[in-house]
Structure 1
């Protein structure tokens, strides 16, 4: 019995090794799970469910195969793929979740989220996030021709890369007070998130009790997952 969590694969045609590693994971370890939760940035970029990139259809088929095997798959949007919509969810069989979700797993309440909302010291990013998450702006963007969306997305990625190059690692990491506030708001002692690409399990205090924050790693040269079982919570790295 195990529920698995992954994040920050950043799948794209330019990184076939990561795609191969994910497909191997879906056809292997994930098949024995009680459920799989993908908590953001499955894809490097997402400009609409109508984008005919072959990779998207390949990933949808692989996730659908896992779901048809009897392993439910759930998805929380990341900062890279926040426009992933209902059409792709139907194709893949994934269930879309809100940006923060509390799960009851084997007697343990666990809060899951992508993690970018916890990086409150990065005021520039938070302002940008608030803007692009406005429903009217998203609807306007998705109504544009595909070639225009590609051009806008490329420019936004370039701007983001340039902005991040001037920020300290501390600014781009989670704010400790924001972490505690989120855990106390949801009354949990466990939090699992991604986004920061700093895999670790941190001990802290929340709700006046010992608490734990598990951070998933990005899939750069190896896979990263958190496995929750009736006995423990483990951060696991594995080769592609």
Structure 2
């Protein structure tokens, strides 16, 4: 478990699911400027920032090439890290093909699996959320294919102009940004990330479970001392979580 001590007056921020690049570069640019403005605002009192996946609608790192665009976001992230504020990144199902660029160029640690953090003696279990919990066996099989080194090697042989455009087309066409299940609360007994969190609590206590992926802002008490928070998205809700060292709250950026 990684331990973080927030300096006096500093906070921890959490955000996910920007899907930059979708549905078009033009529409995405509006959301990107809003997100960059938020980053510019929170850097005044941020002690640490967690980006919990799907910052991009598609991301693939060739050995010498990364997808075009997002320079305002990448530049702002670099500025924040260079100022001394750590940022942690969790890959999502749309940007799981990260392989060193964020670490080498931005000095941002990247996690491909959920991680445990202790912030000011409060325990957090943090992850994007895809592939966790019961059901969704079809996606879990698909994820194994995408994570397979041979599949990544094969895709790398496609010219970036073809590979990136093809991947972006299927991502938007298949409505992977936000499906019908992501805009409707299913109930605690059917919310699969809630069920996953409750199962984790059977073996170890966490004060907070932080996930993205669902695109729906949610705050659910799992027990009297443990809470599940879904961060929503930066497509429809523009929500994020903030921890002031004692309390965690879900907020909306206006």
Q: Structure 2 length normalisation: TM-score?
A: 0.81
Over 3 Å counting, the alpha-carbon distance change for 1:115 and 1:65 in structure 2 is same
SS of alignment partner, residue 51 of structure 1: coil
Matching residue of 1:95? 109
Contact map agreement 2:57 2:171 (CA 8 A) in 1: no
The aligned length equals 234
Matching residue of 1:148? 162
Runs ≥4 in structure 1, deviation > 3 angstroms?
164-173, 182-187
Which has a greater percent of helix?
Answer: 1
Pairs within 5 Å for 1:14-163: 14=26, 15-48=28-61, 50-55=65-70, 57-118=71-132, 120-154=134-168, 156-157=170-171, 160-161=174-175
Over 3 Å counting, the alpha-carbon distance change for 1:4 and 1:165 in structure 2 is closer
Cα deviation for residue 127 of structure 1 reads: 1.7
Contact map agreement 1:34 1:71 (CA 8 A) in 2: yes
Cα deviation for residue 23 of structure 1 reads: 1.2
Cα deviation for residue 160 of structure 1 reads: 3.3
> Superposition RMSD on alpha carbons, in Å?
2.6
SS of alignment partner, residue 246 of structure 2: coil
User: 1:217 pairs with 211, 216, 232, which one?
Assistant: 232
Gaps of 5+ in 1: none
Counterpart CA distance in 2 for 1:182 and 1:117 is 15
User: 1:194 pairs with 191, 212, 228, which one?
Assistant: 212
Cα deviation for residue 167 of structure 1 reads: 6.7
1:7 aligns with 2:16: yes
Counterpart CA distance in 2 for 1:238 and 1:167 is 24
SS of alignment partner, residue 60 of structure 1: helix
SS of alignment partner, residue 130 of structure 1: helix
SS of alignment partner, residue 34 of structure 1: strand
Contact map agreement 1:173 1:196 (CA 8 A) in 2: no
